[in-house]
Amino acid sequence: MSALLRLEGVRAAYGHADVLVDVSLTVEEGRIVCLLGANGAGKTTLIRCVLGLTLLRGGRIFYADHEITHLPTHRRVALGIGCIPEGRRVFPKLTVEENLLAGAYQERSWTRIREQLERVYTVFPRLAERRGQLAGTLSGGEQAMLSIGRGLMRRPRLLLVDEPSLGLSPLLVRENFRVLEEIHGSGVTIFLVEQNVRQTLRIAHYGYVLAGGRLVASGTPEVLRADPALQAAYFGSATA
């Protein structure tokens, strides 16, 4: 297997506060790789660095053997990076269908856009029913569907998924994980940021644990479940 995404010594900071310190990790093509960690560990910042929304203070990022460290966001998207952002972030005053079209913004072929629309509507029939409705008027669960559908419109090769279960009912959380597995089954590599450790480790092939902006553990789910660093990352070290 080859590395689709590779971070080398990534450093990021807001003002004088370091948020990521020397983070190196690899996402192999065809896998579900997860990034675990408590609130404020730097997970979302790491996703933002991969997308080019937060500038690095150091280190480099490679995607499919291109160095993308200095590429603007839209050029990274053109290379096949998609994102389902934290908090869903649908465009509230665009209709459901316009949100999906925005997700396919770089796709020029109408035939392919229509194909993708149909595909998303097949996975989420609810969105088809509401295609003319403003996204801001959807329920939280429907917005989650829309956010996922929008992230799939460009048929990304690497999908970054940030906290998909945040604020959803347990039933919807399970549904979300099922959809993620389906997406992965269609050949998309997934880099998943989550707080829900148990469910995440159930579907992931490999995981990293972030605490205080540093990687403190990595390994397969079996290894991570047994690693005290994972517990410590969420509940603080017992010796502290």
Partner 1 sequence: MVDAALLAQHAVNALMLGIMYALVAVGFTLFFGVLDVIKFSHGDVLTVGAFTGLTVWLALVAVDLATPWLAVALLVLVPALATALLGALIGRFVVLPLKGAPPLNVLLATLMCGTILREAIRLFYPGGANPKPFPALLPTTAYQLGNLNLRLDSVLLFLTGVAIVVALHLVINRTRLGLAIRAVAQDAEIARVMGIDHVRTVLITFAIGSALAAVAGIMHGLYYNEINFSMGLLLGVIGFSSAVVGGLGNVYGAILGGFLFAFLQTLGAMAMPFASAYRDVFAFAVVIAIMAVRPTGLIAERGVERA
Contact positions vs partner 1 (CB under 8 A): 51-53, 72-74, 77-78, 83, 85, 89, 91-94, 98, 101-103, 105-106, 136, 150, 154
Backbone φ and ψ for 168, nearest 5 degrees, come out as: -105, 155
Closer by beta carbon to partner 1, 70 or else 178 = 70
CA distances to 12, 46, 73, 178, 201 from 155, rounded to whole Å, are: 29, 22, 17, 18, 25
| Cβ-contact 58, 122 below 8 angstroms | no
Closer by beta carbon to partner 1, 104 or else 216 = 104
Closer by beta carbon to partner 1, 189 or else 218 = 189
Query: Closest approach of Cβ 190 to partner 1, in Å?
Result: 16
Kindly tell me the sign of the dihedral angle through the C-alpha atoms of 110, 112, 114, 116: negative
Query: Closest approach of Cβ 102 to partner 1, in Å?
Result: 5
Tokens representing 226? 């047994």
Closer by beta carbon to partner 1, 92 or else 125 = 92
Query: Closest approach of Cβ 155 to partner 1, in Å?
Result: 12
Tokens representing 90? 């649908």
Query: Closest approach of Cβ 113 to partner 1, in Å?
Result: 10
Query: Closest approach of Cβ 198 to partner 1, in Å?
Result: 28
Question: Distance (Å, rounded) from C-alpha 188 to C-alpha 204?
Answer: 13
Collapsing DSSP states into helix, strand and coil, what is residue 193?
A: strand
Closer by beta carbon to partner 1, 5 or else 83 = 83
